[in-house]
Amino acid sequence: MQLLVSPSNIDEARRSVAADIIDVKKPSEGSLGANFPWVIKEIKSFAQKPVSAAIGDFPYKPGGASLAAYGAACAGADYIKIGLAFDGASRARDMIAAVVKAVKDEFPKKNVVIAAYSDFKRMGTISPYEMAPIAAELGADIAMVDTGIKDNKSTFEFMNESDLASFTVTNTQLGLRTAVAGSLRFEDVAMLKRINPDIIGVRGMVCGGDRNSTIREDLVATALTMIR
């Protein structure tokens, strides 16, 4: 597993450089809130690691999503990540196709990450299980689960170990990598190692349990030690 850490600003990014992937987002704007392009550029300039950029928890707006995805790719992100904050397979198909085309036409080696929410039932959005085959068919690289509502409830409160293991295996069969996030805790690491997704995404874990606090270098190091 690779560790993806989500700093909210440049100072936090400097504390996160030990992670495998530095994920640029703006937690105040949502689960996958987008940060500024100049922040992506500056972090990319010093991180010496792959940089991921969230572009938002998007309603059904394929044009807006594709433009945001292209902007993140141009700003230097190696992984471009979008959350599908709506329901419906046909609409998901439109969104994913637009984002993949926006990135891959010019940056074929960059990674497109499509996120659906583990708490999709309470959000009224597309499920990860329905999203993943569409993402695979349309050329995305990674299927992700995250919590959409940030109220300290973990992904494991909505998808159990068996659910996530099955999701991971199915994604591998589809040719996708898997990312798991959503208020993950240190006590979840043993279970995550059994599930064995390609990437785990954390913020609160390395902020001392509060995603609105500040990332700590020592906790990033602890997380890396635990998942190796």
Residue 90 to residues 25, 86, 96, 191, 193, Cα–Cα distance (Å): 27, 11, 10, 34, 34
81 is catalytic: yes
| Separation of alpha carbons 79 and 23, rounded Å | 8
How far is residue 158 CA from its own chain's centroid?
17
Q: Please name which of 137, 120, 138 lies closest in space to residue 129, comparing C-alpha atoms.
A: 120
| Separation of alpha carbons 155 and 116, rounded Å | 11
Structure tokens at 85: 């904050």
Residues in the chain: 228
| Separation of alpha carbons 18 and 15, rounded Å | 8
Active-site position among 44, 49, 61, 81: 81
Parallel/antiparallel/unpaired status of strands 51-58 and 142-146: unpaired
Active-site position among 25, 44, 49, 104: 25
25 is catalytic: yes
Positions annotated as catalytic residues are 25, 81
